[in-house]
Amino acid sequence: MTHDAFSRCHPAVNFLFFVAAIGCGMVIQHPAYILAGVVCGGVYFCLLSGRRGFARIGMLLPLPILTAVLNPLINHRGKAVLFLVMGKPYTLEALCYGLALGGIFLVMLLWFGCYSAVLTSDKFTSLFGSLIPSLSLLLVMVLRLIPAFTRKTKQVLDARRAIGMGAEQTGSLRQKLRSGMTVLSALTSWALEGSIITADSMRSRGYGCGKRTSFRLYRMTGRDWVLLILIGGLFSLVILAGGTDASYTPVMKAAPLGWGFPAYCALLLIPTIFELKEAAAWHISISKI
């Protein structure tokens, strides 16, 4: 992923934005808010990932559909029965509720993908290393575990494939399962050993023993203060304005949209607008040369 204009802001600005975006996306089940979260999160994710972002989003899009199809099989609440599955009602309300849940999952995946690209480990430790050193180190290790796990999995699979023990080179289903369990065991051992080594290394360097400095200094500028006030104001307006209530079972109901919805859209579009503004200014300056 590339670093955009918003990622060059102070870590406090980045952290407050993602707290607002992820917090609202996790709690609000209104369909309009979910759709806004998917669109705004998808646009910003593509700005960060480039062309690969479109392919990744395409892989995630079946998630809401799958959740919508499966939810009525275990949730039979609702008045509009579409048909029966093994004698159980397959309702429209449960279908829409599953689609909303899948949309929320998609919003979370998109914003967490943006979070991992913008709020890097050095920013997080610079922001919270002096306040909560142990928790800060733990969160950094957890957040970097998934991408590191993915890279290590590829290395292990390539190594096994090179010696003729890859999953596609084994014969029966039992051998493939055994190969997968071997890879999983190796990855688990690597992750546990790596966490112990990291903890011992940080302890030997005196991490958490005193006031911590950072190898990179982040200073609040006037632009950062303006963004902090803007994000905090829009976040507060979304919470206080209301109009976010929605229920799907047993009857579908959604509150009418108020001032909170345009504030929510404006909040989520801050990084995108910030990047487009700087891109436009760059092209204008280039055209004048």
134 — pLDDT class (breaks 50, 70, 90): low
Residue-wise pLDDT for 116-128, tens only, equals 888 877 787 777 6
The residue-averaged pLDDT of 53-79 equals: 88
The residue-averaged pLDDT of 184-195 equals: 82
Residue-wise pLDDT for 203-238, tens only, equals 776 766 666 555 557 788 999 999 999 999 999 999
> What's the pLDDT score for residue 98?
92
pLDDT at 54 over 90: no
pLDDT at 43 over 90: yes
pLDDT at 269 over 60: yes
For the chain, give the mean pLDDT.
Answer: 84
pLDDT at 57 over 60: yes
Instruction: Answer whether 0.85 is exceeded by the pTM.
Output: no
pLDDT at 242 over 60: yes
pLDDT at 97 over 80: yes
pLDDT at 102 over 90: yes
Return the higher-pLDDT residue of 289 and 51: 51
Residue percentage of the chain with pLDDT more than 70 = 86
> What's the pLDDT score for residue 233?
95
Return the higher-pLDDT residue of 93 and 129: 93
pLDDT at 190 over 90: no
> What's the pLDDT score for residue 209?
66
- Which of 73-82, 119-128, 139-148, 158-167 is the least confident region? 139-148
CA nearest neighbour of 196 among 122, 132, 141, 135? 141
> What's the pLDDT score for residue 226?
93
Cβ-Cβ contacts under 8 Å for 218 (sequence gap 6 or more): 10, 11, 123, 126
The residue-averaged pLDDT of 149-170 equals: 76
pLDDT at 263 over 60: yes
